[in-house]
Amino acid sequence: MKRFLATLACLAFCLFAWADKVVMKDGRQFEGAIVDETDEIVKLKMSKGTIPIRKSEIDRIERGTSGIQDMEARLEALTTDNPSGYVDLAAWCIEQNLGDPPTIRRLANIGIALDDSLASRGNSLLGDYMLAKGDRGLAATYYLRAYQADWKNAALRHKLQEHKEALAEERIKQVTTLRDGLQLALDSKWEDAIRKLQAARETPMADQIGTYSATYKSFALLLADLRARVPCKTCSGTLTVKCLTCKGVGNRSCTPCGGKGRIRKTVGGRPEETTCTTCKGSGKLRCEKCAGKARTACPSCKGIRPASASTLDVRGLKALKDAADARTRGSLPIEEQVGPKLPKLGLTVYDEDLVDDGRYYYAKGEWVSEK
């Protein structure tokens, strides 16, 4: 968070025109950002520091809005009812040269998590963005995800083929991450292991875990077993969170009838009461997202109570770790990584580690789970 705020500050005073201009009575002009103002003094923050200026010496102040302020306002206006708004804002930030990579990646991934039809567009956008940033490996990974969501798209296939070498290099990094994650699991460092293994979940070696372990037939089972050893931080083990759609209200009062269930109308010059057609006489409107319960399944644990952790398959995990280690040393060939595997065609993918915390709203300079 501190790094993000520092980035915002840097962008505010380096990349964009100053928001405010102070024109003095003697003709001098100062540009900066007004950080404090009293009846007598205006404090203007400039590139070389903050200076106080007497209002008696000021002819006029031309106030403006900086790019950062505009971005902050747009971030705070985001709502989960409009998933495409997150991807749109990510695209706008890229176009305006605003924000940092973690913020832009989070925006696009939240949009995809809320609406999987945005997977192709969101991942393709991130691929182009990371490529412009010089990270060809991560760019190729995003192109692969976009292609998995829209595998008939010839343009995406071309991009994927174009960055074949970079994708292979990225996969080597993922195999290394897989190896390190398995070692952390063997060392009983559950949370660190989960983070590492989630980052390596797309490497084909992750799908081969059933070959090495009799306990974990799939990589998902391994992650589930490790998560069972760590309580969910988002919901504190309750499995539910406040509904994002109704803000935890559930059933709200019907506005047309004021919650009475009936509406007064004038028919033939005579006042009559009729049943409210909006709430059908109940006086309440039920939130469709949570079915009026005010809470929904936790986005992190998906509302699923983890099964009791099984006995850790030390032998199987060590065997997979040794195989991954051999591949990073070049003892075994890295699998061909260009193009998705057939079982994954059309699968929506996104950075789960960026959205698993359920913090989809932005307020007062940070991401929050509710407003």
Same domain, 276 and 183: no
What pLDDT was estimated at residue 66?
A: 61
Same domain, residue pair 328 and 216? yes
Same domain? 225 vs 305: yes
Q: pLDDT under 50 in the chain at which residues?
A: 1-18, 334-348
**201 within some domain:** yes
Instruction: Print the domain residue range for 51.
Output: 17-65
Judgement on whether residues 184 and 320 belong to the same structural domain of the protein = yes
In a domain, 266, yes or no: yes
Examine the domain organization and report whether 277 and 332 are in the same domain: no
Please report whether residue 207 resides in a domain: yes
- Separation of alpha carbons 260 and 14, rounded Å: 57
User: Are the CB atoms for 66 and 16 separated by under 8 Å?
Assistant: yes
Give yes or no: residues 287 and 190 share one domain.
no
Does residue 145 belong to any structural domain of this protein? no
Round to the nearest angstrom and report the end-to-end CA distance of the chain. 18
In-domain check, residue 89:
no
Position 196 scores a pLDDT of 92
Q: What is the mean pLDDT of the chain?
A: 80
Same domain, 291 and 305: no
Contact 367, 361 (CB under 8 A): yes
Q: Give the pLDDT of residue 12.
A: 41
Are both 206 and 318 inside the same structural domain?
Answer: yes
One domain, residues 288 and 305: no
Strand ordering across the sheet containing 29-37: 49-54, 41-46, 29-37, 20-24, 58-62
Residue 120 lies in a domain: no
Please say whether the beta carbons of 143 and 156 come within 8 A. yes
Report pLDDT for 19: 64
- The answer to the question of residue 179 being in a domain is yes
On whether both 35 and 178 belong to a single domain, the answer is no
Condensed to tens digits (0 to 9), the pLDDT of residues 87-138 reads 999 999 999 887 888 899 999 999 999 998 999 999 999 999 998 988 887 8
57 and 190 together in one domain: no
Position 96 in a domain: no
- State the helix-helix crossing angle for 190-199 and 219-227, rounded to 10 degrees: 150
Q: 136-177, pLDDT tens digit by residue?
A: 878 888 888 888 888 888 888 888 788 777 777 777 888 899
Name the domain count of the chain: 3
> Are both 276 and 318 inside the same structural domain?
no
Residue 193: per-residue pLDDT: 93
- Give the span between the Cα atoms of 174 and 1, in whole angstroms: 26
